[in-house]
Amino acid sequence: MLSFNRTRPAIALLGENMAEYYDDSELEEIKRRKLLELQRRLAMEEELKRKQQEEEARREALLRSILTPEARERLANVKLVRPELARVVEDNLIALVQSGQIRPPVDEETVKKILALIYERTHREPRIRIKRK
């Protein structure tokens, strides 16, 4: 059981040199393990970020080859306003081209039709209800 010296505040005891409780080799081992853990975690995060960037670059290159410049411009405008809707449209376009249902290059009119269909499926009119007492 720990006994506290009444002349020193308890907070000062918590911040004192840990050498009272651990010898130098134990402290160094703890520090080394913590450092290795942090380095491993940082490396994993960097690897994940790199993979995401590569995947996004592949996706953009594929869309560049699928879409006409006008269609890319329209999709870019949609992405500014509703990024989640643009992502769904991009996914659908990629799937349709890969399955052979449409052939590249995809023009702006086709993108408009797909946008309209997806918007109709996902859009919900706001309902305002007034409850009177």
- Domain of residue 46, residue span: 20-66
Please tell me whether residues 73 and 113 are part of one structural domain: yes
Beta-bridge mates of residue 106: 67
pTM of the model: 0.60
Tell me the pLDDT tens digit for each residue of 79-124. 999 999 899 999 999 999 999 998 888 999 999 999 999 888 887 7
Same domain assignment for residues 62 and 86: no
Are 102 and 64 in contact, with CB atoms under 8 Å apart?
A: no
Q: How many domains does the chain have?
A: 2
CATH code at 88? 1.10.8.140
Pair 59, 80 in one domain: no
102 CB neighbour count, 10 Å cutoff = 16
Report the C-alpha gap between 120 and 117 in whole angstroms: 5
The verdict on residue 9 lying in a domain is: no
Tens digits of residue pLDDT in 32-82? 999 999 999 999 999 999 999 999 999 999 999 999 999 999 999 999 999
The DSSP line for 59-95 is: HHHHHHHHB-HHHHHHHHHHHHH-HHHHHHHHHHHHH
Do 52 and 97 lie in a common domain?
A: no
102: tokens are 């449409």
Same domain, 46 and 28: yes
Task: For residues 74 and 112, state if they share a domain.
Answer: yes
Asked if residue 81 belongs to a domain, the reply is: yes
CA distance 35 to 30: 9
